[in-house]
């Protein structure tokens, strides 16, 4: 039987970064990947969708008005980016101390895993198997023209009529990109507003912006059947029909646990995924789960830092990673990004706060960029500490990254007032919100 210090199942961002971190700290690692190095994010998630978002941004440039979309060229570029990054991850897995194995991993016990029929044992095992695209139980959901985001990323043409079921992050990013590419886009959402986890002020503004560009939203609507290239759904009590060429199912993702034989290890799971504590350790000592498979925060960068938390716990090292301050971004046009509490969360928790706003329309850099549509909202506690920040507009993610750094250091708005921002930059919008 092969012995090592740490076995990692899954070579996505959480898994491979945890492997590199563990090796740097003196551990020997065996890492197994069933499909492709880079996991969900690199191969069927954040990287290819951001390629679409980038190319869509280029075609929105007024200087390119009238230029036709060569979608096959867009797909070719996306695939080249994915392949280059995948090769980069594979090369990282060849560093001394890491044994990278392409194959299926299954638990024989809490300390023993079989990979391609060969047994490996370690005192610590880390599960980082990612997620899969969920499909709702709707009649016709398995029709050949009904796709998940995975298949949609490999489509070789721009559908004339695209219907998206679900107005979460995935649905909104595809709606934004394919509207630009030339699709007639319809979005059907069960809830009252798009992007349920996002601050409602921001979500509404983003939806309105997409509507101005021609995206049709049906909120508080439930799909009943998909048949003969037609989506039949209930919209606030009335039946609606929409003829389509392609249906994109974007109703969320589920934890990849099938085939792991977790029962052999005694690992507890719930509807969200594998149950873990704040050290990412399961109910079984020495078995950890990070990233989408634990269902906590389904973001690649969250998976990376959950992996660091897990390895630090294995090593007995103390860290100051704030998993309550994980920033997020939605790469639509315009962008949206956030960190910390929303207004609704503050109200639910009984937190007294004030809301401070800054606007893109009064910012010089935004005017130069022709990106004056945008809003920054800062939520501030009574003692001046920042509770949350939400941005809608160009480079929202970059602005949120600054705020995340400030919140990690417990900066108050009085201290923020004294921080000099470069002129002209979009960062001045943050300064405007506090002065």
- Count the domains in the chain: 3
The answer as to whether 287 is a domain residue is yes
Residue 261: what are its φ and ψ, rounded to 5°?
Answer: 55, 50
Question: 10 and 106: one domain?
Answer: yes
Question: 218 and 291: one domain?
Answer: no
Percentage of residues in the chain with pLDDT exceeding 90? 92
Percentage of residues in the chain with pLDDT exceeding 70? 98
Among 226, 251, 276, where does a domain finish? 251
The answer as to whether 327 is a domain residue is no
Rg (CA), the chain: 23
Question: 281 and 372: one domain?
Answer: no
Q: What is the mean pLDDT of the chain?
A: 95
Question: 125 and 15: one domain?
Answer: yes
Given a cut of 80, whether residue 235 has pLDDT beyond it is yes
The answer as to whether 90 is a domain residue is yes
Those residues whose C-beta lies under 8 Å from the C-beta of residue 67, and which sit 6 or more positions away, are: 59
Mean pLDDT of 155-172: 96
Given the DSSP bridges, would you call strands 386-392 and 336-340 parallel, antiparallel or unpaired?
antiparallel
Kindly report the three-state secondary structure assignment for every residue of 42-76. HHHCHHHHHHHHHHHHHHCCHHHCCCCCCHHHHHH
CB 255, CB 272: distance < 8 Å? yes
The residues that are catalytic are: 423
pLDDT at 63: 60
Residue 175 belongs to domain with CATH number: 3.50.50.60
Question: 89 and 123: one domain?
Answer: yes
Mean pLDDT of 356-364: 96
Question: 171 and 267: one domain?
Answer: no
Instruction: List the single range of 58-72, 194-208, 306-320 with lowest mean pLDDT.
Output: 58-72
Question: 105 and 128: one domain?
Answer: yes
CB 217, CB 167: distance < 8 Å? yes
The answer as to whether 138 is a domain residue is no
Among 315, 347, 365, where does a domain finish? 315
Question: 150 and 128: one domain?
Answer: no
Question: 83 and 226: one domain?
Answer: no
pLDDT at 330: 96
Q: Write out pLDDT tens, residues 415-434.
A: 999 999 999 999 999 999 99
Q: Write out pLDDT tens, residues 277-303.
A: 999 999 999 999 999 999 999 999 999
Among 251, 280, 297, where does a domain finish? 251
The answer as to whether 236 is a domain residue is yes
pLDDT at 133: 93
270 confidence band (pLDDT: 50, 70, 90): very high
pLDDT at 68: 81
Lay out the sheet containing 6-9: strands in order across: 98-102, 29-33, 6-9, 124-127, 287-289
Q: Quote the distance between the C-alpha of residue 80 and its chain's center.
A: 21
The answer as to whether 322 is a domain residue is no
pTM: 0.94
Q: Which residues on adjacent β-strands are paired with residue 4? A: none
Question: 246 and 261: one domain?
Answer: no
Q: Write out pLDDT tens, residues 31-87.
A: 999 988 998 889 888 899 999 999 998 887 766 556 788 999 999 999 999 999 999
pLDDT at 60: 78
Residue 344 belongs to domain with CATH number: 3.30.390.30
The answer as to whether 328 is a domain residue is no
Given a cut of 90, whether residue 380 has pLDDT beyond it is yes
The answer as to whether 195 is a domain residue is yes
Question: 235 and 258: one domain?
Answer: no
Domain hosting residue 229, numbered range: 146-251
Given a cut of 90, whether residue 390 has pLDDT beyond it is yes
Mean pLDDT of 256-266: 95
pLDDT at 58: 85
Element of type H or E holding 337: strand 336-340
Question: 236 and 280: one domain?
Answer: no
CB 408, CB 395: distance < 8 Å? no
């Amino acid at each position: 039987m092969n012995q090592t210090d740490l076995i990692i199942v899954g070579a996505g961002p959480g898994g491979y970064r945890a492997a590199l971190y563990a090796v740097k700290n003196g551990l020997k690692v065996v890492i197994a990947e069933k499909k492709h190095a880079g996991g969900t994010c690199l191969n069927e998630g954040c990287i290819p969708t951001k390629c679409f978002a980038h190319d869509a941004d280029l075609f929105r440039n007024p200087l390119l008005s009238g230029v036709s979309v060569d979608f096959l060229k867009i797909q070719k570029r996306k695939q080249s980016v994915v392949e280059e990054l995948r090769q980069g991850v594979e090369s990282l897995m060849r560093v001394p101390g890491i044994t990278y194995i392409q194959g299926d991993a299954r638990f024989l016990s809490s300390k023993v895993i079989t990979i391609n029929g060969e047994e490996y044992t370690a005192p610590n095992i880390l599960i980082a198997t990612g997620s899969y695209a969920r499909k709702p139980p709707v009649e016709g959901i398995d029709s050949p023209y009904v796709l998940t985001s995975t298949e949609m990323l490999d489509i070789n043409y721009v559908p004339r009529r695209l219907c998206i079921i679900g107005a979460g992050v995935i649905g909104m990013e595809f709606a934004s990109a394919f509207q630009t590419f030339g699709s007639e886009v319809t979005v059907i959402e069960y809830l009252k507003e798009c992007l349920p986890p996002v601050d409602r002020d921001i979500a509404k503004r983003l939806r309105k912006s997409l509507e101005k560009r021609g995206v049709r939203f049906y909120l508080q609507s439930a799909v009943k059947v998909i048949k003969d290239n037609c989506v039949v759904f209930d919209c606030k009590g009335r039946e609606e029909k929409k003829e389509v060429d392609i249906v994109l199912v974007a109703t969320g993702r589920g934890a990849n646990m099938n085939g792991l034989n977790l029962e052999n290890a005694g690992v507890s799971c719930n509807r969200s995924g594998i149950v873990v504590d704040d050290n990412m350790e399961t109910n079984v000592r020495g078995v950890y789960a990070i990233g989408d498979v634990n269902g906590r925060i389904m973001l690649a960068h969250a998976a990376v830092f959950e992996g660091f938390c897990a390895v630090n716990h294995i090593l007995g090292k103390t860290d100051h990673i704030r998993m309550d301050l994980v920033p997020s971004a939605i790469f639509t046009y315009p962008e949206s990004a956030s960190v910390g509490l929303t207004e609704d969360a503050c109200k639910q928790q009984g937190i007294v706060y004030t809301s401070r706003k800054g606007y893109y329309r009064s910012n010089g850099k935004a005017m130069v960029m022709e990106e004056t549509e945008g809003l920054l909202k800062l939520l501030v506690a009574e003692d001046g500490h920042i509770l949350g920040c939400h941005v809608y507009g160009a480079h929202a993610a970059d602005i949120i990254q600054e705020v995340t750094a400030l919140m990690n250091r417990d900066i108050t708005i009085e201290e923020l007032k004294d921080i000099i921002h470069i002129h002209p930059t979009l960062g001045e919008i943050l300064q405007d919100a506090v002065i």
